Every structure is written in structure tokens, then in C-alpha cells.
Amino acid sequence: MLLRHTDKEIKERSALTVNPAKTCQPIGAMYAALGIHNCLPHSHGSQGCCAYHRSTLTRHYKEPVMASTSSFTEGASVFGGQANLLEAIQYIFTVYNPDVIAVHTTCLSEVIGDDIPQILARAREDGEIPEGKYVIHCNTPSFVGSHVTGFANMVKGMVHYFAESGGKKLDQINIIPGWVEPSDMREIKRLAREMGVTTVMFPDTSDVLDAPLTGRHQFYPKGGVTVKELQSIGDSMGTIALGHFASSAAAEALDAKCNVPYEILDIPYGLLATDRFIDTLRRMAKVEVPESINAERGRLVDAISDMQSYFYGKRVALFGDPDQLVALSEFLVTLNMRPVYVVTGTPGKKFEEQMSRVLEEIPEAKFKQAGDIYLLHQWIKNEPVDLLMGNTYGKFIARDEDIPFIRIGFPILDRIGHSYFPTVGYIGALRLVEKILGAIMDRQDRDCPEESFELVM
């Protein structure tokens, strides 16, 4: 990619993106749909789009991703995809027998202007949707937003199609986890259980995209939020939405539809964001924080206290999804590091408002929404950093600029483990501390003179 020829002179670009720090909406919608039990995501567009979305998720999670497609041809591209979608719904229920088909659109079907609600109404009228089965949808044109937007749209679709209110509040809390790893969703549920709180997490990809190898193929793994659970979210005591970009739309829609109060928090990366999540869960469920969770917090604080001298003043560049970047930047500030460059490809002024708050004590910090990795590289070329954090595509900058690199976010295509080990909560934060310290110390050992090559820190 000839990144060594990236120009240091920064010019305003309004019509050109180079190395986008995002991917397209349908990938996010597909990931969210996989978090419903016995659900088959369906791509209303061409086979090529669906193949790309499936392969990207498969390469990140190292798991087979099942999805179907309307398989547009030239005829559907001209006359519309209604016939394709009606035939697909009939075929899918007959052959694959899911509980839910989750339809998302693509650029092609959006440009044509297919009316998905009308098509689904026609399918119901024709008896193509069996009793006790469901078809839901969301609109996900790739030419606006990002994969985070697509995720948010599908989760909002879950609320639209499933949420009901029976008038009697249930002793449970809804948690919308945002785009995090399956292991993160499992860790969030574990923390809630430790506090004695019953939760409904939607979507929930744990035990779906990190299912164990049993030697027997299971088309629909055991994980995912069930239809019954989704139908109950309208009677929950409240909703905790983690991440403004990925989760707030669904929380707001549920409140408007079923009068379920909500609080929007940052994804619980690091000490302070996890503190806020635990405290909100405590208040909303009216429970006490057990000593076991206090002990987890104490171990994290102990590790930070022991190692803070190695973190102090280190300059960091980050790129990725906005919800993750806000919480990660706050955690780095907590470690006395300096997140000086932060770029997300997802558009939204809310990101810059949040980053202004998080980085108010770092005057040299630069951050941009709807930015790209090329701009981040230009910033680094002008004033180098000590650490780079982001998805796999950061490896090219890390190599060309000789910067320690930590992979985090989506997609990570060239490593394993990210989907199995949590980075949320106090335990996840401890893992992040270990990874950051390891990257810094590895570079120190590599570059130091022989007389400073110490065995003990």
C-alpha cells in the first residue's frame, strides 16, 4: 500500500476517503441478527454483498456465519426484489426452519426503493410466514453510516417487531451491549449475575460466534436472546444502553413504545466506565454491590498503581468505532497516558462532543468523526506516537512508522483470541492493562542498550 509515501501535508478532503476507518451497514445488521436465538440473517440484495458480509464476520470471529440472500440478478435490479424476497422467505422456512428471519437491505435494494414492510405484509397475507415464526427487517444502505449504524438499526428493529407491554413490570433489566465481542457480552451478564440481577441482553452473540467445538454441526448454536425474552423487554424495570451510537436508538424506541426508562452509558472499558455501569445496575435493580466485584475492582486499581510509571506520558493514536474509542480514551487518560489522535469512520457530531469532554486536559489532542486512516497516518507522520491501537488495518502504519501496535475493535483478521477474552469490566480492563504494558515493555527491551536490558522491571 506504499504507506511510506503518505504525504505529511494535510489538506481538507470532503469528497475523497482513503483507507476508511469503518465498513458498511449490513455487516453490523448481520452481526446483531446473529444475536437472536435460531435466527437467520437475510441480505436483500446480490449474492456478492452477502458473501462479503459473511466472510468479513467469519474472518474476524473464526466461526462459520450463516446467512441467506435474495440473490438479485439483472431483472431484480430493474424491476425490484419483491419476488426474490417472497421466494426466499418461503424457501428459508421450508429448508432451514429458523424462528426468525432478520432482513436487512443493501445499496442495491435501497437504490431501487424496495418497500420491505409492504413485501413482508404480502408474505403474511400469502401465508408464507408459518405460525409462531417471525420476519423482521431494518434498512441498511451502505452509502450512509457504517457497520455501527447497521447494528443500531437492527437492534431498533428488534424493539419494533418484538417488544410488548403487558402492563405488569417484571423484575429484570434490559441490557443493550453495543457492538462488543461475544466474550464481552458474557462478561457483562456475569457481572449482573454476580450482583443478583436478572437481565435480558439483546442482541447476545455469546455461544453463537464463540460456540464450542463438539464434533457435531449445529446450524443454530444454543446462544442468542430468545423471542420470548425479546417480547418481555417492554415490561422490564429499565434499560441500560451501552454506547450512544450502537445502542441509544433501540433504548429510545423501547421507551417510546412501552414506557421503559433507560440510561445511556459508555461501553464499560476501563475503571471509570465500569464503575458507572456497576453503579447504574445497582440503582436500577435496587441491589448492593457484592464484595466479589469490589475485589475485582481492587485488583485492577492495584495493577494500575503498580505500573502507572510505565504508562505516564505515553502518546497514543486510536481508530475504530466511536463507542469503543470514547471509553478506551477515558481509560488511557486514567492510566496517565495521552490519547493524542483519535479517528472514527462513523459519522456523528456526538462523537466529537464526547471526545472534547474526555480529552479536555490534553490540549494537543486531535479527533475526527467520519475520518479515515490516511488522516491518522498523516498526523502520526507529523508528530509520532508511542503506541497505536485499532483493528487489523493499523498494522501497515505500525510497520511503516515502527510503532508498537495493539489490536482492538473490528475487524481483527490476523490474530485469534479477541472474541474469547473480554475487555469489558474490571477483569477485561486488567487484560487491557497487561496488553498495553506488554507492548511498551517489549519495545523498551528491543531498543535499550545492552547494559539496560534488565531481567526485572
- Please identify, among 162, 181, 211, the residue that sits at the C-terminal boundary of a domain: 162
- Please identify, among 269, 290, 311, the residue that sits at the C-terminal boundary of a domain: 290
457 lies in a domain? no
Pick the catalytic residue: 18, 111, 144, 287?
Answer: 111
pLDDT tens sequence for the chain (457 residues):
456 678 898 988 888 899 999 999 999 999 999 999 999 999 999 999 999 999 999 999 999 999 999 999 887 777 788 999 999 999 999 999 999 999 999 999 999 999 999 999 999 999 999 999 999 999 999 999 999 999 999 999 999 999 999 889 999 999 999 999 999 999 999 999 999 999 999 999 999 999 999 998 889 999 999 999 999 999 999 999 999 999 999 999 999 999 999 999 999 999 999 999 999 999 999 999 999 999 999 999 999 999 999 999 999 999 999 999 999 999 999 999 999 999 999 999 999 999 999 999 999 999 999 999 999 999 999 999 999 999 999 999 999 999 999 999 999 999 999 999 999 999 999 999 999 999 999 999 999 999 889 888 7
| Domain co-membership, 209 together with 341 | no
What is the secondary structure of 262-320 as a DSSP string?
Answer: EEEE----HHHHHHHHHHHHHHHHT----HHHHHHHHHHHHHHHHHHHHHTT-EEEEEE
| Domain co-membership, 94 together with 196 | no
| Domain co-membership, 310 together with 442 | yes
Domain count, the chain: 3
Could you identify the residue written with the cell 487489523? 392
Q: 45: buried, middle or exposed (CB in 10 Å: 19+, 13-18, 0-12)?
A: buried
167 lies in a domain? no
- Please identify, among 141, 162, 183, the residue that sits at the C-terminal boundary of a domain: 162
Pick the catalytic residue: 49, 100, 107, 148?
Answer: 107
456 lies in a domain? no
H-run or E-run covering 418? none
Strand order of the β-sheet with 387-390 is 366-368, 338-344, 315-320, 387-390, 405-407
Which CATH number belongs to the domain containing residue 342 in this structure? 3.40.50.1980
Nearest-angstrom CA–CA distance, 65 and 102:
14
Identify whether 258 is a catalytic site residue. Answer: no
Identify whether 107 is a catalytic site residue. Answer: yes
The gap from C-alpha 6 to its chain's centroid, in whole angstroms, comes to 29
Nearest-angstrom CA–CA distance, 434 and 99:
42
Query: Domain range for residue 151?
Result: 25-162
